[in-house]
Amino acid sequence: MIPSASAAQTREVPLDELRVVNTEVASGLSRPNSIAALPDGRLLITEKRGTIRAYDRRTGLAAKPVLDIQDRVSETENERGLLGVAIPADFARSRTIYVAYTRKSDEAVTLSRFRLATGKEEVLLAQQHTEFGNHNGGNLAFGKDGFLYFGIGDGGGGGDPLNSGQNKNTLLGKILRIDVNRACAPLAYCVPRDNPFVGVANARAEIWAWGLRNPWKFSFDPADGSLWIGDVGQGRFEEVDHIGARQGGVNFGWPCMEGPSVFDETRCDPNTRYTGPVFNYLSGTEGCAVIGGHVYRGQRFANLARGVYLATDYCSGTAFAVRPNRDGTYASAPIGTFPMDSSAIGVDNRGEFYLVDDFAGKLYALTFQRTRG
């Protein structure tokens, strides 16, 4: 694991003296589940039904969707629907966005490029996902390398019945890394040459990280490009994973491992190295589903929270702070409470944090405070 380069700069504020507070700034959303920042300062917020709304901090939440694809989005199960959105670096010129959703025609977890001016869709990748309705994943994010990263769950059910997590020949239970700026026929995208499984037999070349159950939310630290993953647990542990910017090929162990302990010994390979979480908590008593967040790199609260990774839990609403130490270990602490059923943490173009909650349909701005000292 790689500690953040700025870990030492934030030591003057111990995590147990840090508090995060949410303030409502908009309401009227329909089951929001992800947030992405546009270069002009607006936030795009996905709604599970198949719409994307825009929030402007000056004018509020726009009534008319930026994109409406309800006609092709499946909501047949709670975890199906419109799942994620990512904004490319050339958005100001291209006016394109990348969207992940569960496709109504066949329940496939689908990655598409949309041109906002026309609504034209170009399907880039579709992963079959019919057996079970849960563990769709669907998070999207561009790395500092310019490639698009796409998380897909293990295919659902309990205990990985499809045996996806440790199977490199499927995209289920993985985070993918692809080049969406080019097409390499017959694919509508290209696979970067330095992906870890390029040229490896019985392995999909798109895979960047594997052994994941449902990497529902992941993000990149803009300072060092490292990857933070919130992987939803089976029922024992919720976990947060952290790997370096170029640390491809990492196996996080599912379903051999869940969090820091063995889940199914019969799925373990003694010759395989599994990478454990940098933070975990008990599922069922301290929460039910981790909502991975972001590392704070904004300016407004830099003296308090620079380098702090913030996550929460869908059931408990606990706000968890995690920070790398210089010795390679990690400090963590609960630093507040968000509304229950909080479904995503997002970052605006200034590096400031926002939060949405699922059923209440509200958007909150997040601020940091010091409790003493």
Is 5 a residue whose pLDDT tops 50? no
| Residue-wise pLDDT tens digits, 58-81 | 999 999 999 999 999 999 999 999
pLDDT for 6? 45
Say what percent of the chain tops pLDDT 70: 97
Is 7 a residue whose pLDDT tops 70? no
pLDDT for 2? 58
| Residue-wise pLDDT tens digits, 264-310 | 999 999 999 999 999 999 999 999 999 999 999 999 999 999 999 99
Confidence of residue 11 (pLDDT cuts 50, 70, 90): low
Question: Mean pLDDT in the chain?
Answer: 96
∠ CA 48-24-349, nearest 5°, is: 75
CA atoms within 13 A on the CB side of 271: 0
Question: Whole-angstrom Cα distance, residue 62 to residue 20?
Answer: 27
Is 146 a residue whose pLDDT tops 60? yes
| Residue-wise pLDDT tens digits, 148-197 | 999 999 999 999 999 999 999 999 999 999 999 999 999 999 999 999 99
pTM summary value: 0.96
pLDDT for 9? 45
| Residue-wise pLDDT tens digits, 117-132 | 999 999 999 999 999 9
| Residue-wise pLDDT tens digits, 220-256 | 999 999 999 999 999 999 999 999 999 999 999 999 9
Confidence of residue 372 (pLDDT cuts 50, 70, 90): confident
Is 10 a residue whose pLDDT tops 70? no
